[in-house]
Amino acid sequence: MSRPERPVLVVIAHGSRDPRHAATVHALVRKVRAQRPGLRVETGFLDFAVPSVQRVLNSLAAEGVRDVVALPLLLTRAFHAKSDIPAVLREAPSRLRIRQTEVLGPSPLLTAALERRLYEAGLTPADKSSTGVVLASAGSTDPEAIAVIADIAREWRHTGWCAVRPAFASASLPRTEDAVRELRALGCERVAVAPYVLAPGFLPDRIARGAAGADVLADVLGPAPEVARVLLDRYDEARMPSLQAIGA
């Protein structure tokens, strides 16, 4: 008896007018494919970039694909995960059976990716106790998403950093530059900014400007192997039969 085909993984990215965003998303998807050879992974964008999510889903349906796992390429469960993406998926061809995964965060693997980026920027594990870190996210008007960022900062502090403070590029306070000043005032020997964002763009650039007074600015998470691993974990979780499918 032949084994059933694995569902196609459709990664749903927000999209940006900044071409670095799509390039980083595609690099991450390549890393996912390398970690799971044989898994078909497609990428669709909600806005600004092509192909659109709808075009990807229509194309899969036209090929005869039946099962899809739709993965929001988002770090927190805010408006896009709660409203935009479900609305797009409801418009998918009726022959597709779609399961939407949870968003990527929070995850210990993402914290590991943040530390990877900080070490790549010049820190070492020996620097942790004397370094304050700004966990800089894009920001949201959703209180649930803001609370998650605060929780991550609090838990990350317990791994040995001098201090960890959340900051936001939009919608919420404090801003990155304010958190940098707070860590200076606390007496941390050095201050590092860790962008909790997946790809470059307008808000990550704002984070970088706010990090001007810091000693270290890490890169975005991008195609870190830990991030690719989280995508695959969410895919595997979504294949479990307890999750509700969208569609037939």
Q: Is 51 exposed, middle or buried (0-12, 13-18, 19+ CB in 10 A)?
A: middle
Output the pTM of the full model.
Answer: 0.93
- What is the reported pLDDT for 241? 62
pLDDT at residue 245, as a whole number? 52
Edge-to-edge strands, sheet with 97-100: 41-45, 8-13, 67-72, 97-100, 246-247
pLDDT at position 216 is 98
* 248 residues of the chain, pLDDT tens digit each: 445 689 999 999 999 999 999 999 999 999 999 999 999 999 999 999 999 999 999 999 999 999 999 999 999 987 777 888 999 999 999 999 999 999 999 999 999 999 999 999 999 999 999 999 999 999 998 899 999 999 999 999 999 999 999 999 998 899 999 999 999 999 999 999 999 999 999 999 999 999 999 999 999 999 999 999 999 999 999 987 644 455 54
Q: From 224, 27, 23, select the one nearest 114 (Cα to Cα).
A: 224
